[in-house]
Each structure stands twice: as structure tokens, then as C-alpha cells.
Amino acid sequence: NAGVTQTPKFQVLKTGQSMTLQCAQDMNHEYMSWYRQDPGMGLRLIHYSVGAGITDQGEVPNGYNVSRSTTEDFPLRLLSAAPSQTSVYFCASSYSKLNNYGYTFGSGTRLTVV
Amino acid sequence: QKEVEQDPGPLSVPEGAIVSLNCTYSNSAFQYFMWYRQYSRKGPELLMYTYSSGNKEDGRFTAQVDKSSKYISLFIRDSQPSDSATYLCAIRKPGGGNKLTFGTGTQLKVEL
């Protein structure tokens, strides 16, 4: 099925642990991004990429790293997990020229840091 | 001041009602306006996309943009229990590439 696939769907981490959230899309979208969604805060942009090898910071990048070695994949790395990173994380992709198809979102990763 | 403001609700309406969901934004230069629907424990999905002022209709949904007031609305006619979800407005800033700024979302419940 065409779309954005995120893994894992759920994860519990201990403070200080690191992990990678995976995101893959099969629509040949150039643009990919990571958001976190917290109650009352809406969706906030963490990092984004306009193509393979090109990434940039969003609104809340601290504590997260990204890389984009292929068009299809855009993993998000948590370097040293903190309770403040407890959130739902969404990966989204789109064509390079945003049009009336907007973003395609994955189904999310629910992360709890204890 | 937030760039995009949205009443979080929750909003509860009876089946068949007309629903009005609204967002305000801070910068008159903002261009593209979108509405996303998000069911519980799912990712958002695009509902409507508009560029200019005025109305755009798609089935039971109408998106309205008033650039002079910096106000966008989504109307749902003949609301159904399946419309129960969180609705997020999103705005693309000029020069922002593909980046979107989202409202916090309004939770809607349509009751039988």
C-alpha cells in the first residue's frame, strides 16, 4: 500500500536511552518531515528534508537528529531520551511543490520516556 | 501571539447539525490554507486545500477564507457520527517552502 510507514507504533524508553524512529514512504516524495504532537500544543515541526542529503531544523530540534540518505527513508534519532520527549511523533511527506494533495502522514509512534 | 490560533473545543453537536470550525492567523501574507482531519490514534489526513479568499466546496465540506479578517473556517453540513474527529487548520507561509504551521486542533463529537 502506498503511503508513509512508521515503526515502531509504541515505545517505552528509560531516561538517557537512545533510539531511532523509522519512517519510509513509497510515493517518491521529495519532502519529508517529522512532527511531534502534544496536548494543547498541536503539531510542531522537529526536522525536515527537501531531498536526499538535505536536512534542516524545524521549530523544536533540540535532542533530535535526522539524516536522509535515500528518497524513501527519513529516520529520527533521539540521542539521550528525556521525559520531555514523551509525545506522539508523526512523519509526513509531500511532493517538492506543495499542492492540493498536501502532506501524507504516517500513523504515528507513541513514545513514553520514564 | 501564536501564528495560528484554534479553539480546542471539545465541540459536541447532534447528528445532522451544521458545524463551524474556525482558525485565526496573525500574518496577512500567509497564503495556502488547509484543513486536516485526525481520527483518534491516527495520523492527520488532508480534507481541504485553498489558496485564495472565498469558498471551496467538496461534498458536505466547505472551506472559507477571509484574508481581510485573517480568518479561515470549515463548515460541515449534515454532520455524521463518522465526522467525530479532531480538525486541524494549517497554513503555509510565503517563502516557507513546504513547511506548514498547524493550529492546535478542535475536537468534534457528533452524537446520535
Q: Does A42 touch chain B (CB under 8 A)?
A: yes
Could you give the CA distance from residue B103 to residue B89 in angstroms, rounded to a whole number? 5
Query: How far is B50 from B65, CA to CA, in rounded Å?
Result: 8
Give the residue on A whose Cα is nearest the Cα of B6: A42
Mean pLDDT of A80-89: 98
Q: What is the mean pLDDT of chain A?
A: 94
Q: All 3 cell numbers of residue B104?
A: 492546535
CA dihedral sign, ordered A85, A90, A91, A94: negative
> What's the pLDDT score for residue A92?
96
Taking the C-alpha atoms of B99, A7, A3 and B59 in order, what is their torsion angle to the nearest 10 degrees? -70
pLDDT in tens, A15-57: 999 999 999 999 999 999 999 999 888 899 999 999 999 999 9
Cβ atoms within 10 Å, residue B4: 23
Nearest to A87 by CA among A67, A64, A55, A104: A64
pLDDT digits (tens, 9 = 90+) for B21-61: 999 999 888 878 999 999 999 999 999 988 878 889 999 99
Asked if A98's CB is within 8 angstroms of B92's CB, the reply is yes
B25, amino acid identity: Y
**pLDDT at residue A40, as a whole number:** 84
Please list every residue in chain B whose beta carbon sits closer than 8 Å to the beta carbon of residue A103: 36, 44, 46, 100
d(CA B9, CA B82): 18
B44 and A105 within 8 Å at the Cβ level: the answer is yes
CA distance B96 to chain A (A): 11
Q: Assess A1–B contact: CB distance below 8 Å, yes or no.
A: no
Selected for mutation to probe chain A from B86, B93, B98 (highest A CB count within 10 Å) is B98
Considering only CB atoms, A43 lies closest to which of B46, B49, B88, namely B88
Query: Are A31 and B98 a contacting pair at CB < 8 A?
Result: yes
Q: Could you tell me which residues come within 8 angstroms of residue A93 by beta carbon, excluding any fewer than 6 positions away?
A: A4, A25, A27, A29, A31, A32, A33, A74, A103, A104
As given in the structure block, the three cell numbers for residue B93 are 507561509
